[in-house]
Chain A
Amino acid sequence: MSYALQTLWHERQRYASGVLAVTFSAVLMALQCGLLLGLFKITSIPLDQTKAGHGDGVDIWVGSSGTQSVDLGKPIPESYLTRVAGRPGVHMPEFYIANFGNLTKPVGGTELCYLLGSRLDVDARGPAAVLTPELRHALTERGTVVVDESDVKRLGLDLTGKPKINGKEIRLVGTVKGLRSLAAPWVFCSLDTARHLLGFMMPPEHVTYLIAECDSPERAQQVVGELRADYGNDMSAYSTLEFSTESRIYWLLRTRAGIAIGYAALLGLLVGMVITAQTLYSATAASAKEFAILLALGIPRWRIMLMVLNQSFWIGIIGIGLAYPVCLGLRELARMGNVDVDLRIEIVGGTAIVTMVMALISGLFALRSVRKIEPMDLLR
């Protein structure tokens, strides 16, 4: 065991505050980022819940020019279909309508919702995969809708009476789980119902998106490139995964939530750094006489500095090691409250690296105390 680690263990009570500060910083950062990412996943649910979003990744989405998020698409002519269809390795595109609607609750009061109208057959690429054949069958009737079970109450669909979207009656035929919304609840329906409910808001022979299945993810990427080159000025094209990421990033930046979380994480880091640096500083100062005799014996000062940095390294490693199970535990706790914390490898790894750098910087700050040590102090 290294002298640094041995000292940490022997004086664990002294170093505990530094280790806990590192743990605190790492947990704060990982959870905030995970929470944010989990939260903004909601913005790309229409994409993530499709067959392509679930894994095969072979679809492309074509929408109006400059569409940065799936809920911001403007109507495009159905005739754009010819721009996509007929390309090698591209299947016949299907239509998809997505637009805001104004829902009037049975007891009065309105709520903004987001209509997602798609084809409903088994091979369709647009609908959420969680829509069962029964639900899809029920949705074929004009005016029927499905929402997430957590949105039923909010939209007043649990009450008797006649809810309306854009002044037209709707009927709830079922609910799904896990498709909750951030602001306007997602309302799943057929293309026909969407067109019916949107009325003049969706001009005739227009849709919001064209979705086309390709032979492979690679081909999908190629077609996206081709479409951008050919028609980049008046329409946008994405692969499903690309569009999903684009949608999340758009809302992350648009809402400035990323900046707020960034500040909070930075604050956590600073607090952790100050406490860790202070812990190391006072621990080194407390061992000043032991280090002083080494200096008197001619041991170079850098060896002692290296030991302090070594200690900061181990404080970082132990702190991060403790943070990981804490993060997992808190994620489970959040799940019980139906909140998704996305602790993907990039977040866990990124947090570990940033926290480690923080711990080492704390060690650098603590080196001030090593510079003050003089062998002459032993004779005073």
Chain B
Amino acid sequence: MPMTVVRSPALKGLGITKSYGDGERRRVALDNVSLELHSGKLALLMGPSGSGKSTLLAVASGLLEPTEGQVLAEDRGELRDVWAMTAKQREDFRLRTTGFVFQGYNLFPALTARQQLEIVLKWGGYAGTFAARRQADEMLERLGMSPNRHKKPAHLSGGEKQRVAIGRALVKNPSFMFADEPTSALDWENGQKVMELLRDAAHERGASILVVSHDHRLLPYVDVYYHLEDGHLEERPLGSVVSH
């Protein structure tokens, strides 16, 4: 069930501009864009190819520095400007708070499903060997992947791999999750399952999730819909777009 409690935004992008090049060669990817992500909400960012969707996701998630603007994110009870942090602080912030899912699953070919999750917990300093194994198994069970936990990526289907990738992003229980085209390499049946998992992560775990996609079929799964075109962002009502 969607959460009904209205909360203050967990992440605010204010006046974000991102441009590349100088002078006549200057190309503006994002032009004074502002967005909000709320806890427990799944937001969808859509727009035509080259509209700057991935750039906005990168800026909001602390991977790409904006030319101008701020990204304020809730961290330990206060809003902090992600881009005013040092690189090390930002790395720590991402470690504590952020999960990612990408179109390519980017799983280690040599590691089992369980180990793909364990490595994040162990290397991230979240858990020791045994605790990491337990937490990884719990997460895989929630994703319906328990029977596959000893399988390596080569023995998993595309949908199963993406579920492992989602598990890897969720296993450290992040406050923010960013997904770039998470369903575009999957058939619709698997795509739906992935969206259900992401929606559950938002609604049940209270995470703020931003999904970038060009697939209108994802709209029924989301709580907020942003449209980005020519560097300009607008929030659109869900109903109008669904009928569209």
Q: Which residues of A contact B (CB under 8 A)?
A: 3, 6-7, 9-11, 287, 289-290, 292-294, 296-300, 303, 375-376, 378-379
Is A378's CB under 8 angstroms from B119's CB? no
Contact at A3–B106, with CB atoms within 8 Å?
Answer: no
User: Which 8 pairs from chain A and chain B are nearest by CB?
Assistant: A298-B95, A10-B110, A298-B94, A7-B110, A303-B123, A379-B54, A289-B106, A293-B106
Which residues in chain B, 95-152, are within 8 Å of chain A measured between CB atoms?
95-96, 98-100, 102, 104, 106-111, 115, 119-120, 123-124, 152
Chain A residues with CB under 8 Å of B119's CB are: 3, 294
B91 contacts chain A at the CB level, 8 A cutoff: yes
**Chain A residues positioned under 8 Å from B123 (CB to CB):** 294, 299-300, 303
- By the criterion CB–CB under 8 Å, are A297 and B102 in contact? no
Q: Are A292 and B106 in contact (CB under 8 A)?
A: yes
B41 to A: closest C-beta gap in Å = 22
A-B contact pairs, 5 of them (CB 8 A): A290-B108, A293-B168, A300-B123, A379-B63, A379-B180
With most chain A CB atoms within 10 A of its CB, the pick from B64, B96, B106, B180 is B106
Known contacts being A3-B119, A298-B92, is A11 close to B64, with CB within 8 Å?
no
B-chain residues with CB within 8 Å of residue A378 when the two chains form the complex: 100, 102, 104, 106, 180
Of the candidates A298, A300, A376, which one forms a contact with B93 in the assembled complex, judged by CB atoms under 8 Å apart? A298
* B 152-181 contacts with A by CB, 8 A: 152, 168-169, 172, 180
Q: Is B104 within 8 A of A6, CB to CB?
A: no
Binding site for A on B (CB under 8 A): 54-55, 57-58, 61, 63-64, 91-96, 98-100, 102, 104, 106-111, 115, 119-120, 123-124, 152, 168-169, 172, 180
Q: Is B63 a contact of A290 with CB atoms below 8 Å?
A: no
Q: Are A293 and B110 neighbours in the complex by a CB distance under 8 Å?
A: no
* Contacts A9-B110, A298-B91, A378-B104 supplied; 16 other A-B pairs, CB < 8 Å: A3-B108, A3-B110, A6-B110, A6-B111, A10-B109, A10-B152, A290-B107, A297-B94, A297-B99, A297-B120, A297-B168, A298-B98, A300-B91, A378-B100, A378-B102, A379-B180
- Inter-chain contacts of B98 with A (CB < 8 A): 296-298
Residues from chain B with a CB closer than 8 A to the CB of A379 are: 54-55, 57-58, 63-64, 102, 180
Q: Which residues of A contact B92 (CB under 8 A)?
A: 298
**Docked pose: A299 CA to B168 CA in angstroms:** 12
A9 to B109, CA, bound (A): 11
- Asked if residues A299 and B124 are in contact (CB atoms below 8 Å), the reply is yes
CB of B213, distance to nearest CB on chain A (Å): 14
Question: Which residues in B have their C-beta under 8 angstroms from that of A299?
Answer: 95, 120, 123-124
Known contacts being A7-B110, A287-B108, A290-B107, is A297 close to B172, with CB within 8 Å? yes
A292 cross-chain contacts in B, Cβ below 8 A: 106
Beyond A297-B94, A298-B91, A298-B124, whether A11 also contacts B106 by CB under 8 A is no
Smallest CB–CB gap between A115 and chain B, Å? 67
Q: How far is the CA of A263 from the CA of B157 in the complex (A)?
A: 53
Pair A3/B94 contact, Cβ less than 8 Å: no
Contact status B124-A297, CB under 8 Å:
yes
The reply to whether A297 and B95 form a contact with Cβ atoms under 8 Å apart is yes
CB-CB nearest in chain B for A10? B110
Q: Give CA–CA (A10, B91) in the complex, Å.
A: 30
Residues of B within 8 A of A11 (CB): 109-110
Which residues of the other chain, B, contact A7 by a CB distance below 8 angstroms? 108, 110-111
Least CB separation from B174: chain A residue = A297
Q: Which residue of B lies closest to A7 (CB)?
A: B110
CA distance in complex: A299, B99 (Å)? 11
A294 to B100, CA, bound (A): 9
Q: Which residues of B contact A6 (CB under 8 A)?
A: 110-111, 115
Distance, CA A260 to CA B120, complexed state (A):
50
The residue in B93, B99, B100, B120 that gathers the most chain A C-beta atoms within 10 A of its C-beta is B100
For the complex formed, measure the closest distance between the CB of B93 and the CB atoms of chain A, giving whole angstroms: 7
A residues less than 8 Å from B64 (CB atoms): 376, 379
In the bound assembly, the distance between CA atoms of A299 and B64 in angstroms comes to 17
The CA-CA distance from A9 to B162 in the complex, in Å, is 25
**Nearest chain-B residue to A9 (Cβ)?**
B110
Q: Which residues of A have CB within 8 Å of B104?
A: 289, 378
CB-nearest residue of chain B relative to A293?
A: B106
CB-contact partner of A290 in B96, B99, B106, B169, under 8 A: B106
Chain B residues in 8 Å Cβ range of A289:
104, 106
Contact B110 A296 (CB under 8 A): no
Residue on A nearest B112 in the bound complex, by CB: A6
With A3-B119, A298-B91 as contacts: A293 and B100 at CB distance below 8 Å: yes
For the complex, give the distance between the alpha carbons of A376 and B18 in Å: 14
Smallest beta-carbon distance B194→chain A, Å: 16
Q: Given contacts A297-B169, A297-B172, are A376 and B110 in contact (CB under 8 A)?
A: no
Q: For the complex, what is the distance from the CA of A246 to the CA of B194, rounded to whole Å?
A: 76
Q: Which residues from chain A contact B54 at a C-beta distance below 8 Å?
A: 379
A376 to B100, CA, bound (A): 12
Bound together, the chains give a CA A293 to CA B63 distance in angstroms of 11
A134 to B178, CA, bound (A): 93
- Taking CB as reference atom, which chain B residue is nearest A380? B54
Nearest CB in chain B to that of A292: its residue: B106
Complexed CA–CA distance, A378 and B123 (Å): 20
How near does chain B come to A283, taking the closest CB pair, in angstroms?
A: 11
